[in-house]
Amino acid sequence: MGFRPFVFNLAKKLGLKGYVRNAGLNACVLLDSLNYNFIESILKNFEVLEFNIEALPYKKAVLEELKSGYFWEGFKIFKSIKDTKLSLNLPLDFATCKGCMQDATNPNSRFFNYAFCACAKCGPRYSLIKSLPYDRSSTTMSDFTMCKECLKEYESPTDRRFHTELISCETCGMKLKLIESKKLDFKSELDILKRAAMLLKEGKILALKGITGYALICDAKNLESVLRLRALKHRKTKPIALMAEVSTIDKLVRLDLKLRAILLGQSSPMVIAPKLKNLAPQMQAILKEISPNNTLAITRPFSAHLSLLFSFLPDYVLCFTSANLKGAHIAKSAKELKGLEVDGVLTYNRVLTQSLDDSIVCISGDFLRGIRFSRGIAPFSMKLKSIESKSLIAAFGAHSKTSLTFLQGDECISSPYISNLDSLENIEHLRNTFLHFCALFGKPTILVCDANSSYESTKLAKSLALESNIKLLEIYHHHAHFIALCMEAKVAKNENVLAFIWDGSGLGLDLKLWGGEVFSGSLDRVQDIKRVFHFKYFYLMRNEASIKDAQKTTFFMFKSLGVKIKNFNFENENILEALFDKRLNLIESSSLGRIFDVVAFMLGLVSVSEYEGQSGELIASLASKGNTFLHSPYSYKLTKDEIDLKEMFEGIAKDLDSKEKCFIANRFLDTLADIALNITLWMGQKKAAFGGGVFLNMLLCEKIQRQFKTRGLEVFFPFLPSGDYSISIGQAGYAALLESKEAKV
């Protein structure tokens, strides 16, 4: 972002000759002499990011001393070219920078009250790209011809908008539009925002076009509006994300220094933070309707048009959730809003080529954790340590909360989050993302997918492989999780890794539903990764509706494990008994996600799961009301390769008669932390890695980290979302390892 202007001005200052140009998404600098002051100034003074996340990609300078003696007079910015060497990185959709936010509110600025002001620091945008290299002509900004003033700043080396492809102003740029039942004439853009604010104050729900897609917004303190929004989203109890000015956010949640820095930084994602405990009763009731948990997902107005809207909504808190029909991807055009009964649409006339949800991050112990990678963080590029491929590999991920990954050389890039593939719209979105990546990076020669043939991602990969006669590889779900962990942790190829992969479910080698596994292995023997422990198998009903029924799951789990509990009654027990005796429509599973469902059912938190991870969220929220530091695990048994929780369930049932539920919730999480510790000690390991959706439960992660520290052991929790987002990364790594001559297959 702004690298060419920075280099241009630095070279002029140092009296250097040569040029700078874009080559794809890389920057190429040619000088008439090797100047270390120049290089040192770049490394010291050029701001790549406002905050530093170790997991985010970085590029090292490559120095080449040319033999040729011909150079140009002075220093110039040359026209961009396509990069002959493929580089797997793409621009991110960052928040509007502080300087442009100030310009939008400064009466002396020509960008005063302009909703789309931008400079070099605001960066390029993935959501606008049509092709590479990244120039205005290859984005949807090509629809807007620069006026004289903008062109002057674009061409001025001393201006911070020098070569800013997003530059525009009220004269030549985007126009806001408000669509509602009343037909009103607005004298200015500001009047449109005033009217939108008025509608929100009246309790209306609006669809607002953000920088990467549409959001549904309403007054979070208006209960009627919130309930209408829940009905629109078919979301009975699932938490709703919020947006407010930072001064208001500080009155709702506790932000530590890391979360505050990220919230105020260029990525500006949603952050998950604990609610303040001293809130007024009325506010507590409002926030409980927004989120029944002890945390909130919240962000700030991260663009100029959002900031200007909030100037008419002082101290307001807005619900801010993606605008989409149930099961569909976030809308990027007004056409895709069809079917959503909103009271108005606040939009503008710049086309989005891609739509992205908000990214979500949180803090767990010493670790910054990703919950969802999208706006501002993805497409996510990663430099690889132990893996390299000559081929271009494309991996299609799993079924829920998935992603697409391309890998070549020692780099890989993963798409923004793609929602569950339960709808034709989302399947098509995955396909279109693949085609978009192909247009940017080229056609892959190897495709990789999950071994579960019922996954829509697997069906798509097989179809594309057949259409184009491309090599197709399959890998089992939890093995891909293991490899992704190793890739992010940058372990040596021959390093033995102990990894706990705990999640909802995925097809295992024995064709049973795995989900509570412990693996041991190394990348140089990728086909010999071994499952050393798993939760003892129990029966589940095969169909999804029954799996969501926590009562049925509890019945079959108790029967499978031989749990003996008095006075624990089930509806239709005779029918369930008959199904179990005949093993009708049942499948064996080791899923820890379903174990969470059973504990949540026993605690009276869940009867039918509404959304993925609900049981874990509610158990953690309940546990946080008690003493989370008192380590008091239930009894369990570790046999040769099984973890048997029969005694734990019986202990929970006993405690229900006399103990507080928050105490029981803590003991359950303590048990899981104790299992992780004892298996690590049993295996003689000094450290362990943790992946899978269960480890999005941050309280569990904190308990594990504390227990490991007491024994002097190390833990690794990923910044990559530990759910199925990272599956495609592990799949791509698997293909590269098989291709490598060093892999022992």
Average pLDDT value over all residues in the chain: 91
Tokens (6 digits) for 710: 């007491």
Please state, in angstroms and rounded to a whole number, the distance separating the CA atoms of residues 296 and 280.
Answer: 16
Other CB atoms closer than 10 Å to residue 435's CB: what's the count?
Answer: 11
Percent of the chain with pLDDT over 90: 80
Q: Where are the domains of the chain?
A: 3-77, 176-361, 379-494+727-739, 497-720
Q: How confident is the model at residue 191 (pLDDT cuts 50, 70, 90)?
A: very high
- The residue with greater pLDDT, 120 or 64, is 120
Instruction: Identify the band that residue 58 occupies on the pLDDT scale cut at 50, 70 and 90.
Output: very low
- For residue 51, is pLDDT > 60? no
Backbone phi and psi for residue 358, each to the nearest 5 degrees, phi listed first: -75, 140
Could you please report the per-residue DSSP string of 234-252? T-SSS---EE--HHHHTTT
Average pLDDT estimate for 712-729: 96
Tokens of 443: 């056609």
Between 316 and 22, residue with greater pLDDT: 316
pLDDT number for residue 561:
97
- Distances in Å between the Cα of 407 and the Cα atoms of 380, 441, 634 are 12, 10, 44
User: Which amino acid is located at 116 in the chain?
Assistant: F
The H or E element spanning position 96 is: none
Q: pLDDT for 113-138, tens place per residue?
A: 999 999 988 988 999 999 988 889 99
Each residue's pLDDT tens digit, 343-372:
999 999 999 999 999 999 999 888 899 999
Contacts (Cβ under 8 Å, ≥6 apart) of 64: none
DSSP line for 459-525: HHHHHHHHHHT-EEEEE-HHHHHHHHHHHHHT--TT--EEEEEEEEEEE-TTSSEEEEEEEEE-GGG
Token match 């098989």: residue?
A: 738
Vertex 502 angle, CA 499 and 505, to 5°: 130
Residues linked to residue 549 through DSSP beta bridges, in sequence order: 608
Which pLDDT belongs to residue 70?
Answer: 46
Pairing relationship of beta strands 411-414 and 405-409 according to DSSP bridges: antiparallel
pLDDT of residue 68: 46
Q: 207 near 323, Cβ under 8 Å?
A: yes
First to last CA, the chain: 43
Query: What average pLDDT does range 453-472 have in this prediction?
Result: 97
What's the pLDDT at 544? Answer: 80
For range 25-43, the mean pLDDT: 76
State the pLDDT confidence band at 66, using cuts at 50, 70 and 90.
very low
Listed range (81-95, 232-246, 298-312) with the worst mean pLDDT: 81-95
* Structure confidence at residue 657 (pLDDT): 93
Nearest to 738 by CA among 383, 382, 386, 389: 389
Q: What is the mean pLDDT of residues 151-163?
A: 90
Query: Which whole number is the average pLDDT over 68-84?
Result: 67
Residue 218 in this model has a pLDDT that exceeds 90: yes
Domain spanning 176-361: CATH 3.40.50.300: no
Kindly tell me if the per-residue pLDDT of 210 is higher than 50: yes
> Does 104 have pLDDT greater than 90?
yes
pLDDT at 67: 44
Q: Which fold has domain 379-494+727-739?
A: Nucleotidyltransferase; domain 5 (3.30.420)
Q: Using 50, 70 and 90 to split pLDDT, how confident is the model at 72?
A: low
The reported pLDDT for the residue numbered 326 is 77
Question: What is the CATH T-level fold of the domain 3-77, as seen in this structure?
Answer: Alpha-Beta Plaits (3.30.70)
Residue 36: pLDDT band by 50, 70, 90 thresholds?
confident
**Residue 82 pLDDT:** 67
DSSP β-ladder status, 270-274 and 411-414: unpaired
3-77 and 497-720 have identical folds: no
Top-tier CATH class for 497-720: alpha beta
Assess whether pLDDT exceeds 70 at residue 200.
yes
pLDDT in tens, 618-627: 999 999 999 9
Phi, psi values for residue 115, rounded to 5°? -80, -10
Better-scored residue on pLDDT, 483 or 1: 483
Q: Picking from 23-37, 195-209, 261-275, 726-740, which range would have the lowest pLDDT averaged per residue?
A: 23-37
pLDDT given at position 24:
62
The confidence band for 84, taking pLDDT boundaries of 50, 70 and 90, is: low
Residues 6+ apart with CB under 8 A from 44: none
Query: What does the pLDDT read at residue 18?
Result: 85
Percentage of the chain lying above the pLDDT 70 cut:
94
Residue 34: pLDDT band with limits 50, 70, 90: confident
- Radius of gyration, alpha carbons of the chain: 27
Does residue 696 carry a pLDDT above 70? yes
Say what the pLDDT of residue 21 is.
82
| Contacts for 74 with CB less than 8 Å, ≥ 6 apart | 12, 17
Q: Are 345 and 215 in contact (CB under 8 A)?
A: no
Distance, in Å, from the CA atom of 17 to the CA atom of 23, rounded to the nearest integer, reads 19
pLDDT of residue 365: 82
Evaluate if residue 744 carries a pLDDT over 80.
no
- Using an 8 Å Cβ cutoff, are 479 and 734 in contact? yes
Query: pLDDT tens digits for 517-554?
Result: 999 999 999 999 999 999 999 999 998 888 899 999 99
DSSP label at 331? P
Using left for φ > 0, alpha for ψ between -120 and 50, and beta otherwise, residue 698 falls in alpha
Residues forming a β-bridge with 507: 513
pLDDT at 323 over 70: yes
- With a cut of 90, say whether residue 647 has pLDDT above it: yes
